[in-house]
Amino acid sequence: MKISLITISYNSESSIGDTIDSVLEQDYNNIEYIIVDGNSSDRTMEIVRSYENKISKSISEPDEGLYDALNKGIGMATGEVVGFIHSDDILAGPDILSKIAKTFKEKETDSIYGDLVYVYKQDTSKILRYWKAGKFSRAKIKNGWMPPHPSFYVKREVYQKYGGFDTSFRIAADYDSILRFLGKYRISTAYLPEVLVKMRVGGESNKSLKNIIRKSKEDIKAMKKNGFSAFPAIIIKNISKIHQFIVRK
């Protein structure tokens, strides 16, 4: 099973080397690694080119934002499974992709997800927030549940059948895609109960009060678009994040 792993970047010189190293350290060999850069003005592409022989495909060109770049990556992918590791993030261990591939084979599922931890920028061993996804149910998704998107691996044929990211969303296209796949079209999924990704704090959706409000508005739009009632789901969705700050080892 070939896994296409996509990294999108923009002016990520301080972190992209760690991201690439976490992919190259994987003990799973059937990986197609794709980097989609948004025409960075710093040393990002210089760093990417230093790994030139170990990266399957890379491009650097202007884009229309995060989700446009992700769609480009999906379009370049040829693997049976597609996953994402952003340029501020790292895979949580060298055996992550082998565990994902094993779970796909054992569960015969359309998608797999796991847990995620938010870590400090300067010390990725220190956990600020632990996102334990838990098992999927349709009742939970109606109440605003979603898995951490960087831990969500999906068969490429699902993207081909149901579409990529809706770029009319600026912050919540990942939530929209999960509602579409798991909620509206009811693809199968399986939970891998361990941390798959370490994400450095400072993501786009949570970096300001303005973005948090915008994210909530877009979440409501995504719920309505995919046939779900926004209330009380949007309230439950935001309240459910509080326990994630109770850091677990």
pLDDT of residue 73: 98
pLDDT at 235 over 90: no
pLDDT of residue 236: 78
Residue 149 · residue 174 · CB < 8 Å: yes
pLDDT of residue 247: 57
107-142 residue pLDDT tens: 999 999 999 999 999 999 999 999 999 999 999 999
Residue 87 · residue 9 · CB < 8 Å: yes
Per-domain boundaries in the chain: 3-245
Percent pLDDT > 70 in the chain is 95
Identify the three-state secondary structure at position 34. Answer: strand
Q: Report residue 183 as tokens.
A: 């909620």
Q: Kindly indicate the confidence band of residue 17, based on its pLDDT and cuts at 50, 70 and 90.
A: very high
Residue 81 · residue 30 · CB < 8 Å: no
Poorest-confidence range of 20-34, 181-195, 218-232? 218-232
Helix (H) or strand (E) holding 105: helix 96-107
pLDDT at 48 over 90: yes
DSSP 60-97: E---SSHHHHHHHHHHH--SSEEEE--TTEEESSTTHH
The answer for residues whose C-beta is within 8 angstroms of residue 161's C-beta and 6 or more apart is none
Q: Kindly indicate the confidence band of residue 37, based on its pLDDT and cuts at 50, 70 and 90.
A: very high
Looking at per-residue pLDDT, the higher value among 205 and 166 belongs to 166
Of 66, 80, 52, the closest CA to residue 7 belongs to 66
155-184 residue pLDDT tens: 999 999 999 999 999 999 999 999 999 999
Helix (H) or strand (E) holding 229: none
Strand spans (E) along 132-186? 153-155
Poorest-confidence range of 152-156, 206-210, 217-221, 233-237? 206-210
Residue 36 · residue 9 · CB < 8 Å: yes
Q: Kindly indicate the confidence band of residue 60, based on its pLDDT and cuts at 50, 70 and 90.
A: very high
pLDDT of residue 206: 53
pLDDT at 249 over 70: no
pLDDT of residue 160: 98
What is the architecture, at CATH level 2, of domain 3-245?
A: Alpha-Beta Complex (3.90)
Query: Average pLDDT, stretch 235-247?
Result: 74
Query: Average pLDDT, stretch 78-86?
Result: 98
pLDDT at 203 over 60: no
pLDDT at 205 over 90: no
User: In whole angstroms, what is the distance from residue 151 CA to residue 130 CA?
Assistant: 13
Q: Are strands 127-131 and 153-155 parallel, antiparallel or unpaired?
A: unpaired
> If you search the block for the tokens 């877009």, which residue do you land on?
218
The answer for residues whose C-beta is within 8 angstroms of residue 30's C-beta and 6 or more apart is 1, 2, 3, 101
